[in-house]
Structure 1
Amino acid sequence: MSEHEKLKISTYQIVWLVGAFAPVGLTSLPRELNEYTQQSGWMFALAASLLILLPIRLLVNLTSRYPQQNFASILESILGKFAGKFMMLILSLYIIISTAFSIRIMTDGVITYLLFHTPKWIIIAAALAVSVYAIHKGAKTIIRFNEFIQPVLFMTFFAIFILVFNKSDFTNLLPLVSREIQWRNGVLLSVYPFFHLLALAFFFPFTANPKQLWNGAVWGTQIINFTFLILFILNIGIFGSTELNYIQHPGIEMARLIELPILERMEIVFMTYWILYSFTLFIVGTYSGSVGLQQLFNRGPRSWWALAVGAVVYVLSLLPENIDTVHQLELLLNQVNAVMMFMFVPLLTLADRIKKKARS
């Protein structure tokens, strides 16, 4: 039996699998979104949480029309063999590159706040070694790991939110609509929390039915966006719109303000959460890239593809000169993500409907 015939995941598992798709750069996103929207960024985040439901609904509809098929087969059925393989290659490369940049962001954060003199290549190699090992154990291990660790991380994150709540001045959110909003950049950045969401397509064969996939994806995306929404509001409340523009990792700096008798450096707790969460993303991203290339070329065991993808991710993560370059490249990739989610997915659905009508 193939792997997808042996494994069927529940709605609860889909929720936390989608939760693993939130980008590592989510902790610095409040600063970037604030740059273009000021204190009004929370409204953009709220709108994005509703807007993202459209491409998710369309993707779920595809799984109902092509049950038990992987995404590569779906693309080839709709677009033809050549165009389908080409789009699968684009999607796989997108996920591989975005995973590489995510690892680099985590690495720079670890060096800044924890391992001050550790070379980047050691941290990146360690992260990829864990990812490749998890992929070698199969999708069941990845899904079970997320099912266990994600709720713990979620509760830890919100415990930190509660501890800094009384340090926030929510008058910083006024006026609700800033006069200096840059609408185009604000809209593009508001969909950044769903930077890796297309990786969900590589888990289609594991879903028992479209209704489960829809329910799990909706809850998972709303958890991601709710987390960012609270993070943005608290960052504005604590630092203010002006000061926030000069803080590289406002989420980590926010944790530094917590004072507990037993912990002198509360940001270490936040960093522990951040690193553990980052590993869930690296594993899912590396797995998705490996599956995509394996389905594209239809040969070789997944473990070998995981090693190849890990090597590519390693090289790509070391190429940018500094963290500012990484953020700029991620913003460009985020535009690609927006095009794929809000243009390619609807066009793919439209092409499927036209093709089916032509046949009938």
Structure 2
Amino acid sequence: MPTPPIAELTDRAREIFRLVVEGYLDTGAPVGSKALAGSGSVKLSSASIRSVLSDLETLGLLAAPHTSAGRLPTEAGLRLFVDGIMQVAEPTAQERHAIESRLSAPGPIEAALEATSVLLSSMSSGAGVVMVPRREPRLQYLQLVPLSSDKALAVVVGEDGAVENRVVALPQGFSPGALEQASNFISAHLGGRTFAEAARAMKEDIDSGRSALDDASRDLVARGLAVWSEDAAQRPVLIVRGQSNLLDESALSDLERVRSLLDDIENKQSIAELLERARGADSTRIFIGSENRLFALSGSSVVASPYRDREGRVVGVVGVIGPTRLNYARVVPMVDFTARSLGKLIG
């Protein structure tokens, strides 16, 4: 049966439906007619409330897990609630400050992205996920600094002021002059280029014989290229933190569902494919239960929002994974605010 639009529900059916969903999202337990009647929010008898609950169940919006156990929303009911009834609350000043201060900490962008996933996890009681931007920073210069007889530190500075270090193995018998020559050669090719672009230009110069590098300096350049190329290939596509938050008290009664969820989360490529569906969205997207194939068995939800650079291009996705009874009204604006804050950081 197709889910009816919210406008087709009577006022009292809409109110009872809202109270059942909010009660379930708050406690994780089915909501019964006696609890609704006793709350004073509904001016109807228990019998009248049961009749409305039965009608909502017939419409496929509510379900009764056990006889006389009350009702809880179906996935279709949750979708109707999220799209038509839910009142979104803006993040509190304290939450906004926590997000902005965590993202403003100095360090490479990957550290900020990991901090974002940890923060979302702690604030939502779910698992925080961040899809890393598919871009390379533009570089300014590189300096090779000797550490010992067989190692040097490659210090790279980006146009945005970010500084990253890598240890490079040195060939036997290298000279300080070769180290300086290699540093100058690499820096001359870095200005305004990504590392991949600079690497191609350096290789062309060396292969064509246009460079005045001696054998030792060419060896150092090749070692530097190898270290940074390997580093770029190993940068994470997806960061997931806070899986342990999914093991709450309710998980003890449904271990198979939780095991399925944790298995799904371990498959980061599949999560990345799911988050790709949010890249083209204008705002935060909500995937509930079987609406996404990945979490169909575990009955979990994903709240995800794209984040953009200052030119408006989507560079990644940030989100929260949790049970279908996530506090959507709180998590949705939290994810949205985090995505906008990340966009300011990415530049």
TM-score by length of 1: 0.22
TM-score by length of 2: 0.23
Q: Rg bigger for which structure?
A: 2
Higher strand share: 2
Higher helix share: 1
